[in-house]
A and B are shown apart, each in its own frame.
Chain A
């Protein structure tokens, strides 16, 4: 190995060590894929209820369907994060995970509390979209770029829809948007955005296992 090769290798290892120490992906691509597909499943459930059962989802049923999807997605995320940590030889409850949890907690807790104060599916969906984006953006100091972009997509969608949803989903003469319409919005955002995120992460190879935290031996 030449001196230049050695120096280059040393610099690459230093870079990978620094990335391991500073970048933490709190949402894995496989989880985004599963969560995205489950979101479309939520829409399919609302569609089935309206067109096959001829009884649209009630606000409570809407909430239960999406809480089940949230629970399944969180469980999937724990499984994939745990597998990823094991592959990298890291602890599951690493410093990065602690930092991520502390960062997302305020936004997610407020969203959770408001969910049970607001009994209208459309407002619940807009809160989830906005606060989910805020939670992801709270991790931007150590999140990879794709996750920050996902956070901005949710946050801007929420900001755009909060003042305009009445015009878009409740035209004059129409009542509250149905659970099917709101589920469509959820599928478009939580489904579509997450599938796009998973595709980008895989396309860029962002989730490959980073080199272990070792430095080449001295020359």
Chain B
């Protein structure tokens, strides 16, 4: 039996895992693009991003180009946590094979 407690509960939540995955795929994401990609409501996305930010997994910066926008990116800590989460999943698959 695999110990699910090894999975980072913060990342494991469905919406936050999707956010972490997208942030891990690119250097940074504007809020609107994240919202469009994940088809989340503003409130839901903001809530998840706030949780990840409070955990130190996500950083953001506000900029004004033609219009104000907020860009999000993974911090080193967040990237490490995401890699660790993937490693745990891979171990679950491997342990079932052996």
Q: Which residues of A contact B (CB under 8 A)?
A: 2-4, 6-8, 10-11, 14, 17-18, 20-22, 89-91, 94-95, 213-219
Contact = CB atoms under 8 A, between A and B. Distances in A.
B20 to A, nearest CB: 9
B36 A94 contact: yes
A213 B93 contact: no
B22 A21 contact: yes
Contacts of A216: 14
Nearest to A19: B25
A129 B33 CA distance: 34
B86 interface: yes
The 9 A-B pairs at the shortest CB distance, nearest first, are namely A4-B96, A7-B92, A21-B25, A18-B25, A7-B89, A17-B21, A95-B33, A3-B2, A215-B14
Interface residues of B, number: 29
Interface in B1-53: 1-2, 4, 12-15, 17-18, 21-22, 24-26, 29-30, 33, 36-39
A20 B37 CA distance: 9
Contacts of B36: 90-91, 94-95
A16 B51 CA distance: 24
Q: Is the interface of B mostly helix, strand, loop or mixed?
A: helix
Contacts of A17: 18, 21-22, 25
A11 B30 CA distance: 25
Given A11-B86, A14-B21, A21-B26, A218 B13 contact: yes
A62 B22 CA distance: 46
B21 A11 contact: no
A22 B90 contact: no
Contact of B37 (A7, A8, A10, A213): A213
A6 B7 CA distance: 13
B2 A213 contact: no
B2, B14, B89, most chain A CB atoms within 10 A? B89
